[in-house]
Structure formats: C-alpha cells, structure tokens
Amino acid sequence: MSTSKKVILVTGASSGIGAAIAIKFSEEGDKVVLVGRNERKLHNVSQLCKEAGGNTLIIIADLTIDADIKRVINTSIEHFGRLDVLINNAGVPGSESILSDNAMRVFDEIISINLRAAVYVTHLAAPYLIKTKGNVINISSIGSTAICFRINSQYGASKAAIDQFTKCVALELATYGVRVNSVNPGPTKTDFMKRFGYDEEKQQQVWNTLLKATLLNKIIEPSEVADLVLFLASDKANSITGSSFVIDSGFSLKGLIEE
C-alpha cells in the first residue's frame, strides 16, 4: 500500500505506536521525520527505519515549548523540502482525582502535550500540507468517548478534544484537498505502564485485566495501529476525512453485551 515516497512527520516517535508508525512508513520507502525527547530511543528507531528502507531525520524536541515546535517544522522543511503526512502521536498518560490538590497541575501537563502541541504542530504544518494536498492523522484513544475511567478526567478530556479538533480541522482544510482523521486505539502493547512506575508483576496484572476486557481476547500490537495509519495516509483513503477509527479488539463493546 504505497504512499509514493512521501515525507512523513511523526511526533512521539521514540517508542510504542509512534515508533511502529515510523517503521511502517519506512517499509514503504518514505522519508520520516522522527520527533521526540529521548535521543537514544530515537536513534534506535531511526536504525530500524533505515533497515526497513526508510530515510530518516531525527529532531530532539519538547513539544510543550513553542520554539521547539517551530524548529521541528522549519527543520523538516529545510531538510526534505516538503511535508505530505503529519502524525500527531505525541502524548502522555496520566490521572488525578478531581478532588486532588494536584488536579489542575496534571490537567495542564496532559493538555499541553496531548492537545495543545497537536494543535500548534498542525497550525504550522498546514500551509505545507496544503501544497502537497497531504493529510493529518491524530492518534486519539477510545478514552475519548467510548470508555470512561475513574480518576481519568484529564486524559479523557484531552482525547475527546482531539477527536473534535480532528472534525473541525477536516471541515476547514477539505477545501484545500487536505484530509484529517483520527485513530482511537484501545489497550495497546506499549511501555505506558512503566511511566506509572509499575513493577513487572503489577504490569502483568494490568495486562491480564485488559486482556479479559476485550472481545477478541487480544491486546493490540503497535504495528496493527500503524497498519491502519498507513491506510489512512494512502491514496486508498482518498474519500475519508473527519472520521475517527476505533481499533480496540472490541474493548469498548464488551461492557455493552456482557450479561
């Protein structure tokens, strides 16, 4: 499913879904801009991309800093001369009770990367995407609308906003031939639990719980999310815009059919 040697910008490319997306596009022979904060991990992903046939550019950046976001776009254009696909994948998990004294601090931290960064990156990238009639794919979550978790209002709100942002920007940019969609993964095998400081035993307990909560008895692989992203970025999806695509092994449905 060729994307015709396009230039792809992936934020949050150092691990998990972002890394899998970068590698998937590299397999198509595309040029991939890898954006993230962890230089060592980005170099590891870059090596895998090159082995897969891609051409990469690494940009170390903190997307909560406006100057870094500007540098990401400017450096990408200076290096590759164009931009065809923007993947807004950078994001952080997090939760805090609305009753907690830390509620607003956690809210600001999550919104700054999960929402504001995606909005600003898209704002700066849009003129270049218009030139190539490219597209934007935002990585959201089933936590946006389908599933609510206790003590997770900040994260859920950030992803619900991303879905609405997707629709509104799709309306605005359709005139220019630019498509905008979102992908909403369910339980995906990434290292997000390590960010919470869970030990191996606790991680396995959580994975087992999530596994049992799926219809297909299956945790999603990052490469499966990447397959969906690749399709949406390709010419085979030319009639798709303003849509959100759930990939969750039936996680969001199981509670509706259980007796």
203 band by pLDDT with thresholds 50, 70 and 90: confident
User: Residue 58, by phi and psi: left (phi above 0), alpha (psi -120 to 50) or beta?
Assistant: beta
For residue 106, pLDDT over 90 is answered with yes
Q: Which residue range is the domain that position 154 belongs to?
A: 7-257
**Burial of 30 per CB tally in 10 Å (0-12, 13-18, 19+):** buried
Is residue 79 very low, low, confident or very high in pLDDT (cuts 50, 70, 90)? very high
Answer whether residue 110 is part of any domain.
yes
> In this predicted structure, what is the pLDDT of residue 148?
66
Write out the H or E segment, with its range, that includes residue 221: none
Contact 180, 139 (CB under 8 A): no
Over residues 25-70, the pLDDT tens digits come to 999 999 999 999 999 999 999 999 999 999 999 999 999 999 999 9
How far apart, in Å, are the Cα atoms of 227 and each of 82, 230, 244?
A: 23, 5, 15
Percent with pLDDT over 90 in the chain: 75
Q: What's the pLDDT band for 198 if we cut at 50, 70, 90?
A: confident
Task: Answer yes or no: are the C-beta atoms of 63 and 90 closer than 8 Å.
Answer: yes
Closest CA to 138 of 158, 108, 110: 158
Percent of the chain at pLDDT exceeding 70? 93
pLDDT tens-digit series, residues 204-218: 888 888 889 889 999
Summarize the confidence of residues 217-242 as an average pLDDT: 97
Q: Is residue 1 one of the residues assigned to a domain?
A: no
User: pLDDT band for position 14 (50/70/90)?
Assistant: very high
Whether residue 63 is contained in a domain is answered as yes
In the block, which residue shows the tokens 């396995």? 204
Whether 26 is in a domain gets the answer: yes
Q: Tell me the mean pLDDT in the region 166-193.
A: 94
pLDDT one-digit tens code per residue, 112-155: 999 999 999 999 999 999 999 999 999 999 988 766 667 778 98
Q: Which CATH number fits the domain that encloses residue 78?
A: 3.40.50.720
> Which H or E run contains 180?
strand 179-185
In a domain, 114, yes or no: yes
Which pLDDT score is estimated for 259? 38
Three-state SS for 100-163 is: CCCHHHHHHHHHHHHHHHHHHHHHHHHHHHHHHCCEEEEECCHHHCCCCCCCCHHHHHHHHHHH
The reported pLDDT for the residue numbered 124 is 99
Domain count, the chain: 1
Q: For the residues 163-188, what does the mean pLDDT come to? A: 97
Could you give the residue numbers annotated as active site? 155
Q: Does residue 2 sit within a domain?
A: no
**Residue 148, burial from CB neighbour count under 10 angstroms (0-12, 13-18, 19+):** exposed
Asked, for residue 215, whether it belongs to a domain, the answer is yes
